[in-house]
Amino acid sequence: MIVTQFLVIAAALFSLGVYGLLVRRNAVMVLLAVELMLNAVNINLIAFEAVIRSSQAVGQVFSIFVITVAAAEVGIGLAIILMIFRNRQSANVDDFNLMKF
């Protein structure tokens, strides 16, 4: 195996995540796309760890951290979306334009 094959997959997943981020109208869907991107990052980290093979498995440790933070972030994000939904009865990001000029 060469490392590039995993990096390419990661890149592809990342790009898909960006696409989803920019295109999706539902706030929850946007968060899903963000999860995709984080996942791609994880693949990168593990792949490089496999190349380096550090004595303390740094890449993998880092990957654990990423997963944990992603989970926390999802929790908060959903809470916020919930509140907005309660206020505005809509989860459509197009409607979240209070910061408009």
> Binders of another protein among 32-91, rule CB under 8 A?
32-33, 35-36, 39, 42-43, 46-47, 49-51, 53, 55-58, 60-61, 63-65, 67-76, 78-83, 85-86, 91
71: Cβ contacts below 8 Å, ≥ 6 apart: none
Amino acid making up residue 44: N
Residues within window 1-30 making contact with another protein, judged by CB under 8 A: 1-9, 11-30
C-alpha angle with apex 101: 84 to 92, nearest 5 degrees? Answer: 30
Tokens of 66: 């990423």
CB of 42 to another protein, least distance (A): 7
CB of 63 to another protein, least distance (A): 5
